A and B are shown apart, each in its own frame.
Chain A
Amino acid sequence: MKRKFTKRNITIPGIAVIALLVLLALTSLPRPGRAEITVSATLSAVSFSVDEGAMLTITVNGTRSAELEIPEVKSGAFEIIQRGRSSQVNMINGDFSSSITFNCLVNVTTPGSYTIPPITIHADGDTRTTAEIPFTATAAPQQGGSGTAVAPPPASGKAGGQMVFLRLVGGKAKSYLGEVTPVEVKAYFRQGLRANLNSAPALVGDGLVMPQLHEQPVQTQEIVNGVTYTVLTWRTSLSNIKEGKHTVRLELEATLLVPERRMSTSVFGRRSPFDDDMIDNFFGGYREKPIKAVSNDIAFNILPLPDKGRPTDFTGAIGDFGFTVSATPRQAETGEPITLSMFVSGTGNFDRIEAPPFPAGDDWKTYPPSTTVRPKGDSDAGEKVFGQAIVAKNPAIQTIPALSFSYFDPEKGAYITRESAPIPVNITGKAEPTPPPPPAAATTAAAPQPQPQEPVQPQKQAQPTSQPDATLGGLAPLHLETGSPVAAIKPLYTRPLFLTAIALCTLTLLLLVGLKAYRMQEAARPLDLRRKQLSRALRESCDTLDQAADGNDCALFLAACRTAIRQQLGAVWQCRPDAITRSDLAAKLPDATRLLAIFTVAEQAAYSGCRLDRETMRDYAATVKSELERLL
């Protein structure tokens, strides 16, 4: 079959051949002659700012390999960091020359006049040093430094040009004590600037609090005065906690990654050879610079809530709310609980909204309400739902009474009371007796009382809401015996005695399981087991033989020989040992074995007696042992 001649078939071998030829050509080039080694060092600028640095270029001529030995600057005012090396081979009129160029970055931490010390170069076993280079480092231009505050934007509209600045958007200059205002915290970073946030923005100052910003900010881009900024936005809220005029500010700690640009340190002068920021940054690297961005001072005027017109059931809710009530089931027997659901929805400080009190009376028994807050979206809008169990005690009840909820509307500057309509219900059954008055704290902890005088301070801890109930009179009576006292209530499993007993039991169990497993493993290999049993029996027989030989007891020795041979052969031949005769041995054993002769002697001795000396007995014992072992 004719092979298809494709382009691919040509290309790969072709490239390989060309590469080989080029390699040969390069290796066959004449080596440059050994020339005198010279070194030179130049600094890209004799005066530069501390945040720019300068490029130190060391050129070594006349060699193709060299090593730098950069001395440590004792004052610590600047450092020399090697950033790369390059080699060159030139051919001029047939003469080859080579050189190596080392690029080093000179980083200065403190402005001042310094001198780069001589740098040692080792090349081809030779040592050269560069000349000292004096230079001057000037202070960095003002754009935020280590641990210093970044100058905030001077005024709205003049923020352009700053590296980093913060803004608070949405705050109200005039608001009321206890009011919660949704705001946006914006951190502006000039485009192209790389930064890591060390913390989320925090509010510094009295009178207002802002929750910690845990959520990830939204990242957008904005143009401020013609400058493009990357903007991080956190949506949060400010709570007014103290009346009066207050000034606060925002703070943000971050680490700027300042590019070590080649532009200012290039051997080509102030201009980069690439003329490209991305490439310059890639080759230049970054230096970390911690900063603290601080916003302008922001003034707030927090007004007290007016006393005039304050409803008695006002608990501190400020905002704009709606109020609805529902009940299920509408038909119930006396003593059967009805769930009353109260919905407060809108915008405002939901944390200060408490369940509207159920009107006091003997017709209803009420339980403390449960609370659920359902935020709506990212704003301060939401819904707070109170679920309260109420029990009708009187079948004459026809409606659940109207409930009211009061709040302060900051836009209108007035208190608003929302009232629900009475809910018709159908109560059946018998009237429940009016419970007797609770014994002790009943009068002190009746229905929750509104606290009109202190609605504005953040409530650290709510007052107990439970109240003694008449049904608690049905508690089982007191115990007249104390029972056995203990110093600590602890479960059984922490008591040392119990733990020791369990540990011992577990250990025993593990040993037993291990033993069982071993036995099962043995039982699974019957041949091995049989071989072990035979070996053990042979060992015992041999012990008997040795004892008889040591005691010079010929009769016992020969009887033991006979028994040992019969037992082992019986086990091997799978027959009864006492049924084995001399003829069996003669028929089944190989001719060369001495077992037959020993067995014959032993058999004859059993009937006619025989005398053997100790040496013969030992010889017989060794023979029996080795022959039987061989048979096994």
Chain B
Amino acid sequence: MNALKIRFPRLPLIFLTLAATVFVTAAAYAAVDNSRFHEANAAYSRNDFKSAIAIYEELLQQHGYAPGILYNLANSYARDGRIGKAVLNYERAAKLDPGDPDITGNLQLVRTASGLFTEEENLAERLPNLLSLNQWIGLGSLALVALTCTLLLSLWLKLSPRLLTALTILCLAVMTTAVIAAAALAEEWSEYVVVSATRLQISPFDGAAALGNIQEGRMVETGQQHSGYIFVEDETGRKGWIPSAAIEPVIPPRLQ
């Protein structure tokens, strides 16, 4: 009993300490300087996009990637005429907040206005885009948990074999669909965006023959690198070498 009396007050103490640690860590990122954020918004409103961009970039460096900051930054880049950077930041914002209609709508608008037309997708290509990557992963995980629970319950409860089979098939189908869709979408997370229009070259050295220009805002997949050049393939299937500095990854490096 004595031991219980001594230990009991410690449990909430440990819990509180842990919670405080988590809170403080989270607060370090959560406490975005709202005054600076509003200052940037004000600069955008008076068409001073360059100042707005500078403040949004500063906020990102200080506090981390927030969907609101990335979205506003993308808007500023778009209005400043830097389509590549705009597309990049819309894509990043969409990764954090895939359900936001403003992000997807503005991204679509910027793409269309810049002539970044893409080929019509067929049904199989459209299916993965019904949900975001994390939503597909969540759905698949839910199906996995449901299947585990069903099988676990069947050890004690007398479930009808038909019901058990139907539930198992349903869960497996959902899991398979989620894995396929997530795999398709995961490729997009490794893509890059052309942030400055450049020449697509046949070889990775200065003065090599060009295959044409690659427009800023184009999404590209990357390959090997060679002396400042990187091999890319864009959405339209064109392949070639471009300067490495002309592209940026959709998923940015982790902030220190």
Contacts and interface: CB of A to CB of B under 8 A. Distances in A.
A339 to B, nearest CB: 11
A479 B144 CA distance: 36
A485 B66 contact: yes
B224 to A, nearest CB: 14
A465 B65 contact: no
Contacts of B105: 476
Contacts of A498: 137, 141
B79 A485 contact: no
Contact of B37 (A370, A473, A482): A482
Contacts of A626: none
B181 interface: no
Contacts of B109: 471-472, 474-475
A534 interface: no
B250 to A, nearest CB: 8
Contacts of B203: 211-212
A486 B44 CA distance: 24
Nearest to B63: A485
B197 A471 contact: no
A505 B147 CA distance: 10
B189 interface: yes
A22 interface: no
Contact of B67 (A352, A483, A501): A483
Contacts, number: 217
A404 B182 CA distance: 49
Given A466-B215, A485-B32, A487-B255, A505 B67 contact: no
Interface string A464-493: 111111011111111111111111111111
A462 B68 contact: no
Nearest to A480: B41
A468 B198 CA distance: 18
B180 interface: no
A239 interface: yes
Contacts of B32: 482, 485
Nearest to A180: B209
Chain B interface category by residue count: 35 or more
A462 B213 contact: yes
Interface in B45-98: 45, 47, 49-50, 59, 63-69, 71-72, 75, 78-84, 92, 95-97
B12 interface: no
A387 to B, nearest CB: 10
B69 A482 contact: yes
A465 B67 contact: no
Nearest to B41: A478
B215 A483 contact: no
Contact of A475 (B106, B152, B246): B106
B24 interface: no
A487 B254 contact: yes
Given A211-B209, A239-B207, A461-B196, A479 B82 contact: no
Contact of A458 (B59, B96, B112, B206): B206
A372 B254 contact: no
A438 B152 contact: no
A505 B144 contact: yes
B207 A492 contact: no
Residue of A462, A489, A492, A515 most packed against chain B (CB within 10 A): A489
B155 A468 contact: no
B18 interface: no
B243 A350 contact: no
Interface string B230-256: 000000100000010010000111110
Interface in A424-474: 438-442, 445, 458-469, 471-474
Interface in B138-177: 138, 141, 144-145, 147-148, 151-152, 154-155
A159 interface: no
Contacts of B134: 491-492
Contact of A472 (B64, B110, B152, B199): B110
B211 A483 contact: no
B198 A505 contact: no
A368 B215 contact: yes
A139 interface: no
B213 A371 contact: yes
B223 interface: no
Contacts of A463: 197
Interface string B29-45: 11010100100010011
A468 B110 CA distance: 10
Interface string B101-132: 11001100110111101000000000000000
Which 8 pairs show the lowest CB-CB distances between chains A and B? A371-B212, A367-B115, A458-B207, A468-B81, A351-B210, A485-B64, A488-B254, A485-B66
Interface of B: 29-30, 32, 34, 37, 41, 44-45, 47, 49-50, 59, 63-69, 71-72, 75, 78-84, 92, 95-97, 101-102, 105-106, 109-110, 112-115, 117, 133-134, 137-138, 141, 144-145, 147-148, 151-152, 154-155, 182, 186, 189, 196-199, 201-203, 205-213, 215-217, 236, 243, 246, 251-255
Interface of A: 180, 209, 211-212, 237, 239, 241, 349-352, 354, 367-368, 370-373, 384, 389, 438-442, 445, 458-469, 471-493, 498, 501-502, 505-506, 508-509, 512-513, 515-516
